[in-house]
Every structure is written in C-alpha cells, then in structure tokens.
Structure 1
Amino acid sequence: MNIKIYFTTVAISVMLTAFADTGTKAFALETDRNVNRNVKGIAIALPAQPVSLEPSDSFQDASRRIPNYIPNHVVTPDPKQQSAQVTSVSQLSDIKATDWAFTALQSLVERYGCIAGYPDRTYRGRQAISRYEFAAGLNACLDKINEILSAGLADKVSQEDLAALKKLQEEFAAELSVLRGRVDALEAKTSRLEAQQFSTTTKLNILSSFNVSSVFAGGDIRAEGLPIPGSVPVARFAARNPLTGSPIVGTVTDKPNTTFSHSTYLLFTSSFTGSDTLNLILAMGNGSPPASAYASAGFSSTFAVPYADSNPVVPLPANSVGLFELFYSFPISDNVKVQIGPRILPFRQFDVNRFTSVLNGAGGLNSYQSTIANSGLSGAGAIVSWRMSDQLLLKAGYLARNDASFQYFGGDGSSNPNRGLFGGSNQILAELTYSPSDSANLRFLYSRTYNQAPPVSPLGQPNFPFFLTYSARGVVDDGLGGSLQDSTGDNLVFNFDWLLTKSFGLFGRYSYSNYRIAPVNPAISGGNISLQAFQFGLAFPDLGKEGALGTLSFSIPFQVLSGRNFLVSGNGDGGTQYDLELTYSYPMMKYITLTPSLFATFNANNFSSNPTIWGVVLRTQFLF
C-alpha cells in the first residue's frame, strides 16, 4: 500500500528547527493555534481498483460519476493528481527564499526527503491542519528517519534532531497511536479485499431488474399493421390493403394481462494499465411489455415502457444469455480517449442526460433518448472523445449497425461478408457538449445514417418491412406497397439538463430527422419523410431521501411533417401522439432501488380518435 501525505502547513516543515530553537512549549502553542480550523489536508493514494456504481450516492455525485445507465468504466486516479515527491525546495512553486520558513523547509527536504507536494507543485503552507494531520506528517518523517538509521547512516541524523523527534513523539503519542491503528486496519482491509476479489484486473457488477407491468385503455385501440377485422388472423406486419392502397388498420379489443419479467446484465470491466478498460456486458431477460399489444407495426415496446421491461438480447429466446456490449477503451493523450469494439451501444455514448437514465431517471423508451435520431441499437466501429476544455467535450464515431432488427441480412453486420464494416447500415455521429457549470449541460448531436433496404421478397409474398429508425417509429414503402432502395437520413438533436437547485432541475430535447425515399420501381417517384420530436421534463433530485430522483416527462415522440404517403404505419389518421411519464427512483438500501413508473399515452399510434392508454410498472432494481 502506497501512502503519501500532503503537508498543508509550514508547522510540519519547521518541527525540527522549532524544537531546537524554542522548545516544546512554544512550538505546541503554535501548533494549537492551527488545530481548530478544520482544513482537511491528508490524501491517501491507494493502488487503482475498479469501483462500482453506488445507488446510495447523492444524486449530484452519481450524475457526475455515471453519465450512462450502466457502469462502463474503471475509475482510476488521474496521474496528474498523484502526489509529487519533492527532492528540492525549488520544486515548490509557492515557496520563496524570502519566506520565514524557507531555511527550515529546505533543511527538512534535503536531509530527510519526507515532504510530498501537491499535484500542482505547490506546498500551501498557509493552510491550517489539525493535530491528527500534523501527527500523520510527523509519522512520515519518523518512518523516513528510521529507514536512514536502519541503513547504518546514523551520522546523517543530528543529535539535536533526534532529541526534537523524541519530544514530538511524546507530545503527539496519542495521535500517533490512533493513526497507526487506522493504517493497520486499512492494510488489513486491503489485504482481505485483495484475497476475496473476483480478479486482479477485472471488476464484476450485476444489474438486475424485476418488473411488474400492467396496462389498460379506455376503449378499443386502433393500430396500423393489424389484420383486417374479420379476416383470418395472421402475424402482425405492416401492409397496405390491396383493394384501396391504404395502410391496413385493425382494432385491439382485448386488455393485456399483467406481467412479471426480468432483465439482467453481467458487467465485466477490466483494466490492464490503469488508464485503459475492456468492457464486456452479457445480458438476458424475458420481458414483453403488455403495452406493445396496443402498438402499430414498428412501435413495439414504446408508450413510455421502461427499457428494463424487455428482452435485451432479441432475437434470442427469452432467458438466453447473449452479448450486449464489447469494446476496448484507451487514452491516446491526456484529453483524447478512443473506444473501439465489435459491439458498441451508441445510446450509452451519445444523447445522454443526467435526468433521463434508464437506471434511475425518466427511463421509458420514449423518454431516455431521442425517439427518431438514433438509428442503431448497437454497432461495430470506434468512438473518439476529445476533452477540449473544462466546458467543451467533442465526441465523434462511426458504427456499422449490427443489432437484432437486421437479422434478415444473415447475422451480425460487420462480420457478415454480405455487409461488412462499410457495406451495410451504418451511422456517423458527432456531438458537442457544452457545460458552462457543473449544474448545466447543452448537447448538440448530428448523425448521418445509411439504412440498408431489406431484401426484396419473391413474387406473391409480402415484402419485409422497412423500419424507419432503430426504435422502429413507423414502417415505410414506396407509397404503393412496393420495395425501397437503400435510404439515407440526417438527424439533429438538441439536448439539455439544468440543475437549478440541489432539489430541482429541468431537462428536454428537440429532434429533427429527414429521410430520403428511393423506390425500387423506377416508375414511382421518391421523396422525403420529415419528422420531429419534443421532450420537456421536471426533475426532483434527492426527493424524500438522498440518492432518490423523481421525474415528470412530457414528450411528442413522432410527429410527421411531410412524406405521409410513404408511411405504412406511423401516420395514423394524422393525429399526434404525446406521452406523460412519472417516475420515482427510491433507494431502499445501498444496492436495492425501488422505481415505480406511471405513464399515459394520448392519441396512441397517431390516431386522434384513440382513447388514452394508461400503464404502471413497478421495478425493483438490484445493483451489486
């Protein structure tokens, strides 16, 4: 264990000289004068170890430590923040030759070398310390002198210094005894942790959610993509009525039953150098949100349904273990970090918000991120983060889409020769975050998406649906039931969170997307689909208990501005759906959080004639 002491007053520096010149009594008076100012001045630097997310942390601390909903990094000390051993008093920038303690400090540094400056090469001798802090510094010098004596270099220590040390040991005997007892206890605890840890290089966290979900509507719900009423039931898919050319509209009459589901994540975080991390997440689950029964084709698992209430590794069967995320992160300079991997989740890197986290904030699928601007659940590629200043952070990345929605191409994207790293659906993302203070963040995200069209089905069979975005907000064709060529889209998102006081904050988003439609049939003209989405919310950190968070989110997830003729589902009758989500995250204890959510969906599926859908989810979250 490596323990270094930052000395925060010149009292430590002059202890030998002061005792030799003025005696114990005068020096003790000077020390007592500094005792009661309660300035903390001791820092202990331990070996870097991965740390886990602590749900019991205060919200302000947690929001700064964890930008995303799952811990995704090992927290290690910044090399710039390590204590700097001083070998010459000239290395301390705030010590001048004219200072009254210069000679004493110079003597102590050069003779015994038991002074460690602050990371910025300052000494801060005007700060006061307590008797315990003074004893810690004294103990460091005692250890150094013991090393000199043990090495047979007794002639290097003067008899006057030894006499002064003896008096200091007597004066601070009680503090030294307590300090050494604490160090012994800390060493014992460190040894126990090292013996019991999962790995010397890897940290294992487990995140699991138990979800009880129920939903009901005030009447029958109209949805696009359902079988024509009275026809033979078939699997739900988006299609047009062959007689009228209009999208098929069905009616949901049965109320879904209440469900009890789970989602579980195993998070392995490894560090080999202290500054790099290998992040591996395995996941399983069996959720199938009851609210999805009311959704139009392409809107499954929406209506503010929490992310945890779904199977995270679709299309694998329920309760199957699958790869959720895998990437390697490393710095290339003090301010630039690179993440590269075969499976990166962009929603954990871009468009994050301190109040819309699926871990403890407004976490419904219509709340925690832009509903129209992120075109992939996961991808293979790289992301570069550049900390331009304390206020500015720039992120940019390229990801080849490889999530479950594109399984009809024959498997994972970048590893599939028919698609590869650059031949299939992909996205380029760039986001600038401006943080004028710790309490406010403004984010500007642009993404360019390339969407590979599904293969054309054999004659006489329905074509595969072309989902518009990663969350499948609608399904498109050429306007007459025909197939499309590959599509490109431009997406813009403005995202902000603002902590006005310790107990109140605001958050919101505006998103705009434009997709170009190119029919396979050259006789049919293409066009554009333009969409926008809104979100505004109120946040109440530490509501009722430190670490709790209450949120109220209002959102318009999918408003069509143009190109309605290309929508097979999503347009409805021209109405605009909007959602309300009320979520309260309450830490029951350090590792268990209870999160009830109440949501209401108005004009569901963009049908203004639809009654309101109400839902409630009670989630118990375990994080170890």
Structure 2
Amino acid sequence: MDKFVWYGLPIGAVILMANCAIANCAIAPGFQENPNLPAVDYDRVSQVPGIDKIYPTENLHRPVDVEAMEQVTSVSQLTDIDPSHWAFQALQSLVERYGCIEGYPERTYRGNRALSRYEFAAGLNACLDRIQELIAAAVTDLPSKEDLATIRRLQEEFQSEITGLRERIDPLETRTAKLEANQFSTTTQLRGFAAFNLTNAWAGDEVKAEGLNPFNARRDPLSNRPVIREVGEQNITFSNFVVLTLNTSFTGKDLLVTELGAGNGNPGANNYISAGNFNSGGVPFFDQTVGVDPNDIVLRELLYSLRVANSLRITVGPRINWFRFFDANAFTFPGTGTSSFNSINSTFLTSTKRGAGAVIEWNISKQLEFHLGYLVESLEFLPGNRPASDPSKGLFEGTNTITAELTYKPSSNANIRLLYQRSNLDRNSVVQIDLRPIFGVADDGFGGGVRDATSDTFGINFDWLMTKGLGVFGRYTYASTHIDPVRVGIEDGRVNAQTFQVGLAFPDLGKRGALATLSFVVPFDILAGEKFLVSGAGNGGTQYEIEASYYLPLTQNIAVVPGFYVISNINNFDDNPTVFVGNLRTQFSF
C-alpha cells in the first residue's frame, strides 16, 4: 500500500478540517491574517480609581487569565457541541478516534471562536504527534480502504487549498522563531499608557473655598466658622501621565501585576476646591501627579492573583488597586468613558484606593458575582511609611476597609451592583478626619480634635446598553460617619450624606469604537452633621456637575478625548459663580 497515502489519511483529514474551520466552514480559498491583535485588558489606573478599561473588553477591571486546555476523550464531554451540527462527525473522529482535540476547562469547545494561525499550528502539531503514537503502537484501528479512497479524492480535489496552507505555515514558522528570539519575556507582557492633558478652568468671578489651601482646614477662633479663601483666575496647564504595567503568568491560571506610574498634573480646578477635596470636582482624572512630587516614578500596584477553582479567584498583595474589583461601570471607565474624578466612581469611595490585603472573587452563576475584600491603606501619593507597612499600625490598626459587592447581570447588556463598605479611618496629623466618605474635613465642631472614625457606606450602581447606540448608567451612595470628639463635654455624632450620578452613553457615535457620555453628578449632599464639617458644608448649598466627554479612537493605539464640565454651587456655596473646565487629552496605549 502507498505509504504516503496510508500516513496521509489522518494528516490530510486534519489539514482539511483545519482549513475548513479557518475559512468559517466553507471550503474557501483561504483566510486573511489580522495584524491588529486585540489589546489585553489594561486594568484600572490612578490616584482614585483605575483604567480597568482603556482597552475596551468585556471585563475591564479583571486581571488577564490564560485558560488552560484540557484533553477530552469523548465528544460528549464538550457541552457546547450539537450532534446535529454539520461538523459533529468530523469532530467526533478527531476526539474519539485520534485523540488530538482539547477543550477548555469548563468542558466547552467554542467552535465559533476565531482561530489564530498560532493556535492552528499548535492543534496540527498535536494531531501529528498523536498519529505518530498510533503508528508506533501498531494500533489496529487504522484507516480502511474506503478511507484511503476518500482521502485520495479529497487530496486531489483540494490540492490547491492544501498547498496554499503550507505556503502560509512556512512563513509562520519563520516569524514565530523571530518572535521567540526577540520576545521581552516568556511569561511577561508589557503594557503602557501615556496621556497629554491640556486643561483650563475659569469662572466669571472669584470662587469661595473653605480652608487656607486645598490641604489645610481651620476655624476662625472668634466666630468658630470655617476659614474661607477666595480664588481668582487660573491659567491653562499642559501635563503628562504615564503608566507601565508588567503582567506575568507562571502557570496560565495566575497573574502577577507590577505597575509603575508617573505624572505632573495639577490643573487650576484644584485651586478652586475646598480643603480635603484635592483631585475631585472639575479635575480630569489623568491630569494628576501620581506620586508625592511631580514626575516621581512610583510603584502603583503590586498584586498576585490565582484562580483556585473554575469559579473562584483569590488576589493578595501589598498594593492592590481597589478599583480593579469594585464599583465598576461600563460607561465610566476613565480611559474611554466619563473623565473627571467625580464622575468615574462614587465620590464616597474609598479611603483604601490602593491597599495591602486580599480580595476574593466568586462567580456564583452566569448572572451573579460576589466580591469580598479587606485592604489596609497603602497609597502611593502620600508621603512616608504607609499604615500597611508601618509596624506601629500594621494590617489591623491603620486605616482599613472591608468591602462586599454583589453583581447581578439580568442580561448580557446590563449590570446591577450592590455594595457595602465598613471603614476604619485614621485621624490626620492635626487630629481631623479627612478621608472618604467624608468629602471635606471633619473636627469636633469647635476646632478641636477627634478620635479615629468609623463609617458605613451603602451603594447601588448600574449600567444598561439599551440599544447598540444608547446606554444609561448611574450610581447612588449613602454614607454615615461617626465623629467622636476628644474633649470631654462635646457630644459625638454622625455626618450623614448622599451622592448620586445619572448619565447617558452613546457607543460608536461618529466612528466605530468611539464613546460619548453625558453625566450629571451631585458629589456631596449633606443630610445631617454639618456642624462637624470644618470644610465641605459651604453655606448649605448643593454642588452639582454636568460633564460631557467624547472618546475618539484615531488608531488602535491613539485616541483623543475632549471633555467639558460645568460646575454649579461649587464647594456647596450657592452664591459661588459657575465654574467651567475644558480638557483635551491625547492618549497612547500599547
């Protein structure tokens, strides 16, 4: 018997099936290589939240997971294979007869998923290895004469397609060898993001703000009222923001994230803001100083994530980005959606933007997901040894939070998230509370000090893509913070407040991949306890903001994002002039 034909039967069948699969199941003239590989999800960045979606994917704030393939012995083990499908018999033969098809860990084949040339080469190699094993073992279940006749006919009929496929594989091997010789790392991916920010803030008159400056709040010793300053015209600023992320996987089921950042942003809007609210209303998210000083290179994140079961992942680390795991929203990620600090997440969250500790993620079902985290403050933009690494405070005595969030997905286009956070808040160096959920600074109501505080925060967050071109989103958060004065005779009490946001999103507006958003935000509406606020209460007014942003991708790696904000009753003074902020961001990602 013709030795080439004898050995070529399974080989030809494999090549024919692979060619058919690559061409979407028709015996097509070939396939087109796509040079634009999809970007790996770049997880959230910043001084408050993160970019969890600079690269739009289905789950931005989730670490990259490389799923392992598992060998199956019967086609019935693949739960998404329909026996009536036209390719069922061919797949059954490759699985049960030749044993060279693998499935995903959850026992699926994902037959409709696009196949890369690298994956094809790997699958073809697995089948060839299996064929060699069968021949070496002298397996009796070898091809019949009818099989040989069939393969001869198929080889003749599809000779041009097979030849074309071989011509494509040869250059692939050369390119693969070149990539392997020049790759950065066998286990590590380098991702980068850079932004240029051109920003201006202006008002028709001087703006009133509480505090000697954005960081120092005091009361007038005679009137006991908060000290108020007036701020005039600001100048246009031009700043930078850069983040480099190393994503390392050792097993394919784990992820080590090491992220470095630097920036020099400090727009004029920061000068309009009351003490305790630096980087809040009117400040574009990427217009920030990442470290203590401008352009300091700092370690923004360091965490290790491991999938311990199909539905369970555990993350631990000395500097975890809280926003990777909580308070996500499809339309408010700063890289592609809303763009100011007050619009990308709840203004009451969180005092542990980065922290040491652990987070557990549990995929209960296709519709339910539960996250639980404990973090001790480890902020990269504050000076000195942070509580998590300070032996006088450590993992349990410093500022810390316990956060629980339940996500319900009624459909593939909608998410509803319920969140609870318990916070233990350290007082600052002048014995005041200036940490979230306090949107400002709290003392005992008479200029005296307070003890460490506790707070309870409750939130709901939703996003819904109603049609291909229209989405809605929103948040509501309520917080209650216990204030305990140091001086005897002064009663303790609570600062109760709420914040909410509603918005519209317009995906693919003007261009595929673009996203326009319009957002209305009330950042700090005080319900009780104004007397404890040495900054933040204003004269009893309620600040509100209207923000418009438009993410316009120019290429896969370059985008421009204009933004415009209108802020009324800034700092909760109802007699303050309206503040306007314009921002033009050009961002680069790789």
Look up the SS of the partner of 1:341 in the other structure: strand
The one-letter amino acid of 2:208's match is: R
The one-letter amino acid of 2:392's match is: N
**Per-residue deviation at 1:376?**
2.2
State the Cα deviation string for residues 409-434 of structure 1 (Å, max 9, x = none).
Answer: x5121110111000111000000000
Length-normalised TM-score, structure 2: 0.83
**Per-residue deviation at 1:363?**
2.2
Equivalence for 1:619: 585
Equivalence for 2:375: 399
1:261 aligns with 2:249: no
**Per-residue deviation at 1:331?**
1.2
Look up the SS of the partner of 1:589 in the other structure: coil
**Per-residue deviation at 1:142?**
9.4
Equivalence for 1:503: 469
Equivalence for 1:367: 343
Out of 500, 504, 510, which is 1:544 matched to? 510
State the Cα deviation string for residues 566-608 of structure 1 (Å, max 9, x = none).
Answer: 0001010000000011000000111011011100110010000
Change beyond 3 A, Cα 1:619–1:104:
closer
Look up the SS of the partner of 1:506 in the other structure: strand
Change beyond 3 A, Cα 1:285–1:116:
closer
**Per-residue deviation at 1:452?**
1.4
Out of 184, 189, 194, which is 1:198 matched to? 184
**Pairwise CA RMSD of aligned residues?**
3.9
8 Å CA contact 1:292, 1:301 repeated in 2: yes
8 Å CA contact 2:210, 2:275 repeated in 1: yes
State the Cα deviation string for residues 34-72 of structure 1 (Å, max 9, x = none).
Answer: x998599x99xxxxx9963499xxx9996543423xxx6
Distance 1:539 1:102 in 2: 42
Alignment of 1:150-161 (within 5 A): 151=136, 156-161=142-147
Distance 2:572 2:91 in 1: 75
Look up the SS of the partner of 1:550 in the other structure: strand
The one-letter amino acid of 1:562's match is: A
The one-letter amino acid of 2:302's match is: L
Alignment of 1:203-602 (within 5 A): 203-226=189-212, 237-253=216-232, 255-313=233-291, 315=292, 317-403=293-379, 407=383, 410-455=384-429, 463=430, 465-469=432-436, 473-602=439-568
Distance 1:443 1:274 in 2: 29
Look up the SS of the partner of 1:467 in the other structure: coil
Q: Which is further off, 430-439 or 345-354?
A: 345-354
State the Cα deviation string for residues 422-465 of structure 1 (Å, max 9, x = none).
Answer: 0111000000000111100000010000011234xxxxxxx354
Distance 2:288 2:38 in 1: 29
Equivalence for 2:115: none
Distance 2:508 2:459 in 1: 28
Distance 2:262 2:88 in 1: 64
8 Å CA contact 1:50, 1:269 repeated in 2: no
Distance 2:549 2:87 in 1: 59
The one-letter amino acid of 1:434's match is: Y
Equivalence for 1:52: 40
Equivalence for 1:458: none
8 Å CA contact 1:84, 1:121 repeated in 2: no
Distance 1:103 1:292 in 2: 66
Change beyond 3 A, Cα 1:479–1:180:
same
Change beyond 3 A, Cα 1:123–1:565:
closer
**Per-residue deviation at 1:262?**
0.6
Change beyond 3 A, Cα 1:379–1:616:
same
**Per-residue deviation at 1:342?**
0.5
Distance 2:171 2:362 in 1: 41
Look up the SS of the partner of 2:541 in the other structure: coil
The one-letter amino acid of 2:241's match is: S
**Per-residue deviation at 1:118?**
8.9
8 Å CA contact 2:215, 2:276 repeated in 1: no
The one-letter amino acid of 1:303's match is: G
Length-normalised TM-score, structure 1: 0.79
State the Cα deviation string for residues 235-290 of structure 1 (Å, max 9, x = none).
Answer: 9620000111111112112x111111011111010000001000111111111121
Distance 2:337 2:234 in 1: 26
State the Cα deviation string for residues 343-397 of structure 1 (Å, max 9, x = none).
Answer: 1121222111010011111121110111014222211100000000000000001
Change beyond 3 A, Cα 1:369–1:92:
closer
8 Å CA contact 1:50, 1:75 repeated in 2: no
Look up the SS of the partner of 2:181 in the other structure: helix
State the Cα deviation string for residues 506-536 of structure 1 (Å, max 9, x = none).
Answer: 0000010000010011211110100100100
Change beyond 3 A, Cα 1:449–1:102:
closer
Look up the SS of the partner of 1:147 in the other structure: helix
The one-letter amino acid of 2:63's match is: H
Equivalence for 1:7: none
- Gaps of at least 5 residues in structure 1 are 1-11, 17-31, 44-48, 128-134, 228-234, 456-462
Aligned length: 550
**Per-residue deviation at 1:180?**
2.5
Distance 2:171 2:258 in 1: 34
Q: Which is further off, 91-100 or 431-440?
A: 91-100
Change beyond 3 A, Cα 1:142–1:369:
closer
Look up the SS of the partner of 1:514 in the other structure: strand
8 Å CA contact 1:226, 1:251 repeated in 2: no
Distance 2:529 2:81 in 1: 71
Look up the SS of the partner of 2:165 in the other structure: helix
Larger Rg: 1
- Gaps of at least 5 residues in structure 2 are 1-8, 14-19, 32-36, 44-51, 113-119
**Per-residue deviation at 1:184?**
3.1
8 Å CA contact 1:373, 1:513 repeated in 2: no
State the Cα deviation string for residues 267-324 of structure 1 (Å, max 9, x = none).
Answer: 01000000100011111111112101111111222223221100112x2x21110110
8 Å CA contact 2:53, 2:335 repeated in 1: no
Identity of aligned residues (%): 43
The one-letter amino acid of 2:284's match is: P
Distance 2:81 2:542 in 1: 68
